[in-house]
Amino acid sequence: MTRKIKLVLVLSAFLLSMCRAYDQNGTVASINGLSCQNYTDYGFLKRSERAACFYVCPDGTVAQPDISENFSDSSSLYTAPKKDLDTQFCGVASLPTATQQLASTSAPATPLVTASPTTSPIASATATVQASPVAEISPTAQTRSPLLTGDVTMCDQTTDLISFRIVKPAPDFTDKLVTVQISEQETTCAVNPVNTSLLTCTLPSVVTFPARVVVSLDGAVVNDFPYDGIGCILVDTPIPSP
């Protein structure tokens, strides 16, 4: 019996040594759109510093790379151009190439790059799978249980990202079409890989606060609330002269 107890204690110590400890300073976000949560990975008799990251590709998909170092303003990825991140994490050569593939056959590639402020390449990529515009949605159409609490945990106009708190218990998104519209503009969202209690979305390129947030599940409105924009970060970083 004593030998079995010792074996259980050794096994428990081994399992406890294999865990992650996330940095309490929160997410580190770069102006190129890459945001990461640093953590320490404790393995058996060793430890390593890593970062779980989140990046929205030009076609609207969300890449979740895990890098083998802590992410900070001194990291090479922090100052890397977006085209390099698109190549490394999304498998595309450059942003214009990806945009051109997503464009309608009746529209040239150039207008997509110089589109009006109310339209972004990401929104164009997701428009074919979204529900009807916000203007046609009435608050009385909200018949299902809400997906979001209405709380905004992070808003950064520098990286064009915003995170909403998901209700508890978290709903099952399997085989569900979730549509999020901010200020009457469709956006791309995904469950945050670092904190799965958050739904992280891209902010429209031009947004005016207070902004109306409408969430639909399979075409039925489940959330409709305003966000006043208080606490939303906007950093105007000057471009260095050559």
Domain assignment of residue 149, yes or no: yes
Size of the chain, expressed as the number of residues it contains = 242
Check residue 240 and give its pLDDT. 58
Distance CA 161, CA 154 (A): 8
Please identify, among 111, 127, 143, the residue that sits at the C-terminal boundary of a domain: 111
Check residue 174 and give its pLDDT. 83
Same domain, 157 and 175: yes
Domain assignment of residue 65, yes or no: yes
98-116: b (≥16 Cβ within 10 Å) or e: bbbebbeeeeeeeebeebe
Check residue 122 and give its pLDDT. 40
Domain assignment of residue 26, yes or no: yes
Check residue 130 and give its pLDDT. 40
Same domain, 135 and 56: no
Q: Is 152 within 8 Å of 182 (Cβ atoms)? A: no
If one counts the domains in the chain, the total is 2
Percent of the chain with pLDDT over 90: 25
97 closest CA partner among 117, 82, 79, 77: 82
Q: Return the amino acid letter for 185.
A: Q
Please identify, among 111, 133, 155, the residue that sits at the C-terminal boundary of a domain: 111
Domain of residue 209: give its range. Answer: 117-227
Domain assignment of residue 11, yes or no: no
Distance CA 37, CA 24 (A): 9
Low-confidence ranges of the chain (pLDDT < 70): 1-18, 43-45, 93-143, 235-242
Same domain, 73 and 131: no
Query: What distance lies between CA 178 and its chain's CA centroid?
Result: 14
pTM for the model stands at 0.45
Alpha helices in 64-222 (DSSP H): 82-85, 95-102, 109-113, 121-126
Please identify, among 111, 135, 154, the residue that sits at the C-terminal boundary of a domain: 111
Check residue 214 and give its pLDDT. 96
Same domain, 146 and 205: yes
Domain assignment of residue 239, yes or no: no
Same domain, 166 and 87: no
Same domain, 208 and 123: yes
Q: What is the pLDDT of residues 101-144, one digit of tens each?
A: 444 444 444 444 333 444 444 433 333 334 334 434 444 444 57
Check residue 115 and give its pLDDT. 39
